[in-house]
Structure 1
């Protein structure tokens, strides 16, 4: 594989421009001309239309989730797989479980993230947000690095029971999982991430054993005392960090960016109930998760394209959520848009049995974070000359920075 294989207006690569910043033009072209398009580098078919993405996600019999992410040592280059051979085996990722296995794992996650637990933590979220806003110095701030990132890390770290001084460490271990699994990363970067990933086993083992001896009221303790294996504990905690930080951070910053860019901040300050609609429209327009894979269990025909058994499909939620066949004026940010939740709603959290189990937590975090800013900083505005720059990521779409003037 050469750099040329990964660059070009028609070769989807969210690691680099133009697709890391604005993939919408490519997605529109694919939806119109090649709605199920084979990607030779990823060895997967890109599925881009709303109805097709939704139908695939709703049909686990014909479209297995077993390899819905590249988080498998056997899918890696030999150099990476050799390092990962030294890691403790993890349990099955809920995102990749089918049938009864998925049902059992989902019950564990739902017990950890049930509504009353999340709702009870809402005042603590507001306190975290207020503390971070109070720490802003001067008249400017970066709402990614100084607000959304530490806010979500604090929420997840507190819920899990991770000591405050270890929040950055635990987050880094979660990112190592994604870094070695990224199919578009240089092999030397993947090897380095794999080494750190192996080293992190000892950290999670110590946490598992400590919670077994002295359980608390946190989710890590709940998992241990409920009898989950160390393998499942490893997978669940790493998934909390790998999937639960960046996605929510990006939803928060994208919501704020869209509201400010469209001149809606005074309206949100005057009527905080608008924040609910703003978050949902952001999840549609700027889906924080780029997409997940499915594997065909039989030969199928999708949008007129014959796809063989055993093929991988990359469901591109960001494209589906901008499909003009489902959403009128899809590129616009409209807080008055209806029908964003429910049977025909947006796919920002996926669809079907694998709809995001942390959706309620993520929505609550986003709403609290935006509400706190509206209450404390009514004159908030984008810094002059700001031009959006997005993080190069195979998995997520979010702003690298969000510089604002606070008053």
Structure 2
């Protein structure tokens, strides 16, 4: 867990000026070497310490345990997303950074579009892209599956779904790699990456506006998506009104960025994290090879066991108690998905990867896609991509095996693969 201590002195939030008097506070170091070396152990200890801890290497709280995390995700009155889901507050109260009821109206734009039924429109393209990637890598016999498959597949599928040119995958990979590398340590660099992305998005918006103008359309509507314009998210956002008005360019940019960055690395991580656990236990790999109907169970168990996103940030709206801890208003709070997904009060044998696990509390398998109004809109796309990818890999690479340690980025809130050395000859 790294350094851990009980702190009985007043704890002052730099953001709010609030002081918590007289309570012993569990201090943890999420970015410490020990915590990063064994993420599951860190988050398990975090849960056992109580629902709230304080980061000793940053000005934020952590919330752990299934019930506490579920409460945070559903309580938009006290835990707000209006300042975004990263440590540094940014882009206040617009687009994806809203709370209900205003966010509920905004979410309605893409909710049906990204539903389980809606995302089927990309299944054939996903299959075709995956087959092409396997055609290229199969003769190699070995290599890094991240570079050869885990990154390019979700980048290409996400570009198609969002509506970005599909021939610039390397450019998109540069964005996502750089964004991951600057997520906590370098907000200024992160903003420069965002500015580059926004300039690119603006070109796509102008191209669509020119198409509409050439067609004599001055008040676009959703029925122009898939007819006059391509069938993709950018076209949908450009043609849909909320509360009697069209979205601003800033709202469209922010939404497209959220879908794109959220859809590439985490989906690739879901595919590779699932493969990792199956290959670690050859009997599970053989079971899935023999029975492809086990693939959905493997995906859900991977989401529970190795969530690609370990948690996101929220902001507190007032001073209030959670457990025995007083949380200060205007503080940042990071919720811990691994601590929730491995909570023994909810999941039997939580630290074992199993293909026979059944849904538990209210039919829930895990909290890896969040909950409440901000449930991940890309959940069904990720499941669809992972299902297609794993089926094809199992069919075409039956001798797949690890030939070195799988490496992940050293990030406190993501479990994203950095290197996946494998052989399949």
State if a TM-score over 0.5 links the two structures: yes
Alignment match, 2:23? none
Alignment match, 1:336? 356
1:86-144 Cα shifts (integer Å, max 9, x gaps): xxx798242x3112221122112214323333113212211111111111132213221
Deviation at 1:200, TM superposition (A): 3.6
Q: Given that residues 174 and 238 in structure 1 are in contact (C-alpha distance below 8 angstroms), is that contact kept between their aligned partners in structure 2?
A: no
Distance of 2:134 and 2:412 partners within structure 1: 31
1:167-222 Cα shifts (integer Å, max 9, x gaps): 33245445656655x33x1x4xx434433433443222111110122232232222
Alignment of 1:6-405 (within 5 A): 8-10=2-4, 11-14=28-31, 17-70=33-86, 92-94=94-96, 96-136=97-137, 137-173=139-175, 182-183=183-184, 185=185, 187=186, 190-214=187-211, 215-226=229-240, 227-263=246-282, 264-339=284-359, 342-383=362-403, 386-405=404-423
Deviation at 1:274, TM superposition (A): 0.3
Per the normalisation by structure 1, the TM-score is: 0.85
Q: Given that residues 175 and 242 in structure 1 are in contact (C-alpha distance below 8 angstroms), is that contact kept between their aligned partners in structure 2?
A: no
Change (3 A) 1:171 1:235: farther
Distance of 1:112 and 1:230 partners within structure 2: 20
Distance of 2:360 and 2:210 partners within structure 1: 45
Distance of 2:178 and 2:345 partners within structure 1: 38
Distance of 2:346 and 2:130 partners within structure 1: 35
Q: Given that residues 175 and 241 in structure 1 are in contact (C-alpha distance below 8 angstroms), is that contact kept between their aligned partners in structure 2?
A: no
SS at match of 1:234: helix
Distance of 2:416 and 2:118 partners within structure 1: 27
Change (3 A) 1:176 1:228: farther
Alignment match, 1:85? none
Distance of 2:59 and 2:304 partners within structure 1: 27
Alignment match, 1:3? none
Distance of 1:309 and 1:382 partners within structure 2: 47
1:312-332 Cα shifts (integer Å, max 9, x gaps): 321111221112222122111
Change (3 A) 1:336 1:223: same
Q: Given that residues 152 and 169 in structure 2 are in contact (C-alpha distance below 8 angstroms), is that contact kept between their aligned partners in structure 1?
A: no
1:243-268 Cα shifts (integer Å, max 9, x gaps): 11111111110001101111111111
Q: Given that residues 20 and 390 in structure 1 are in contact (C-alpha distance below 8 angstroms), is that contact kept between their aligned partners in structure 2?
A: no
Alignment match, 1:86? none
Per the normalisation by structure 2, the TM-score is: 0.82
Q: Given that residues 44 and 313 in structure 1 are in contact (C-alpha distance below 8 angstroms), is that contact kept between their aligned partners in structure 2?
A: yes
Q: Given that residues 406 and 417 in structure 2 are in contact (C-alpha distance below 8 angstroms), is that contact kept between their aligned partners in structure 1?
A: yes
Q: Given that residues 82 and 93 in structure 2 are in contact (C-alpha distance below 8 angstroms), is that contact kept between their aligned partners in structure 1?
A: no
1:321-367 Cα shifts (integer Å, max 9, x gaps): 11222212211101111116855431110112211111111111111
> Cα RMSD (Å) of the superposition?
2.5
Structure with the larger RCO, 1 or 2 (CA within 8 Å, 6+ apart): 1
SS at match of 1:288: coil
Count how many residue pairs are aligned between Structure 1 and Structure 2: 378
* Structure 2: gaps spanning 5 or more residues: 5-27, 212-228, 241-245
Distance of 1:31 and 1:24 partners within structure 2: 11
Distance of 1:176 and 1:51 partners within structure 2: 34
Q: Given that residues 148 and 369 in structure 1 are in contact (C-alpha distance below 8 angstroms), is that contact kept between their aligned partners in structure 2?
A: no
Larger radius of gyration: 2
Deviation at 1:54, TM superposition (A): 0.8
Q: Given that residues 144 and 400 in structure 1 are in contact (C-alpha distance below 8 angstroms), is that contact kept between their aligned partners in structure 2?
A: yes
